[in-house]
Structure 1
Amino acid sequence: MSKLYNAIINVVDKFVPSRLRPLWMHPAGPKTVFFWAPMFKWGLVIAGFNDLANRPKELLNARQTGTIALTGMIWSRYSLVVVPKNWNLFSVNLFVAITQGVQFLRAYHYQTIHQNEKKNSE
């Protein structure tokens, strides 16, 4: 598999414009896994935005969304410590933390109100 990947990279390498060369040759650029892993992780951000728009708050799990938000914060910090600094990894994890943090607040708010309503009705 790595031979196929290297062959593709060598072919594409010839067509990269000179002004995009610094990005292409960066230690965390498209020629490395340090680029592609965060790119695929953007799918979590897209799913988070979709959930913000479409998922009812009664279906949210505060523990799950809180855990994912915390993970996003931890990995955001980690991405600034590793060498080379991976700004793509930082930004995707920051957005994961933000979207899941908002989801956590929605779930927590709903569950708190729902529990108060149960106590008041009893």
Structure 2
Amino acid sequence: MSGKVGPLSRIYNGMIGIADKFVPTSMRPLWEHPAGPKTVFFWAPIGKWALVIAGIGDMYTRPPHALSVNQCAVLATTGIIWSRYSLVIVPKNYSLFMVNLFVATTQLIQVARALQYQYSLKDKSE
């Protein structure tokens, strides 16, 4: 739980305190884990799955000419960097590792799609 005393921290700590009473004994190890639901180490990767879902959606709906190679490359690079970081921090955060691995993979696929399209245009013009 957060050690701060701001209004949002109080709300969060209150919600965790209430939920704490309802967590079954079998789920206590996950609940009390240093990267468990009481921490940002749990919630940040959950929120980041939205990037993965958006990337997968773009694979099927966005035409290659509408992709930004720079944007996809930067997202892929941050996915790779944060994948590495998630394995060197304490506690190791495997959920953060997985989501960043998926972010990097989906964005590298997008880069490949965009580059393949650009090269096909060059071949047609020659």
* Segments ≥4 residues shifted beyond 4 Å: none
Distance in 1 (CA, whole Å) between partners of 2:123 and 2:81 is: 32
Structure with more relative contact order (C-alpha pairs < 8 Å, separation 6 or more): 1
Distance in 1 (CA, whole Å) between partners of 2:55 and 2:110 is: 8
Q: 1:13, CA displacement in angstroms?
A: 0.6
The alignment status of 1:97 with 2:104, answered yes or no, reads: yes
Q: 1:117, CA displacement in angstroms?
A: 2.1
Q: 1:23, CA displacement in angstroms?
A: 1.0
Deviations along 1:57-86, one digit per CA (max 9) or x if unpaired, are 111111211111111011000100000001
- Tell me, what secondary structure is at the counterpart of 1:30? coil
Q: 1:115, CA displacement in angstroms?
A: 2.2
Aligned to 1:62, which of 69, 74, 86? 69
Distance in 1 (CA, whole Å) between partners of 2:10 and 2:78 is: 33
Aligned length: 119
Aligned to 2:29, which of 17, 22, 26? 22
Counterpart AA for 1:82: I
User: Paired residue for 1:117?
Assistant: 124
User: Paired residue for 1:7?
Assistant: 14
Query: Could you state the TM-score of these two structures normalised by the residue count of structure 2?
Result: 0.91
Aligned to 1:85, which of 76, 89, 92? 92
Aligned to 2:42, which of 32, 35, 46? 35
Gaps of 5+ in 2: 1-7
Gaps of 5+ in 1: none
Counterpart AA for 1:106: R
Alpha-carbon RMSD: 0.9
Percent of counterpart pairs with the same letter? Answer: 57
Query: Could you state the TM-score of these two structures normalised by the residue count of structure 1?
Result: 0.93
Q: How does 1:46-61 map to 2 (within 5 A)?
A: 46-61=53-68
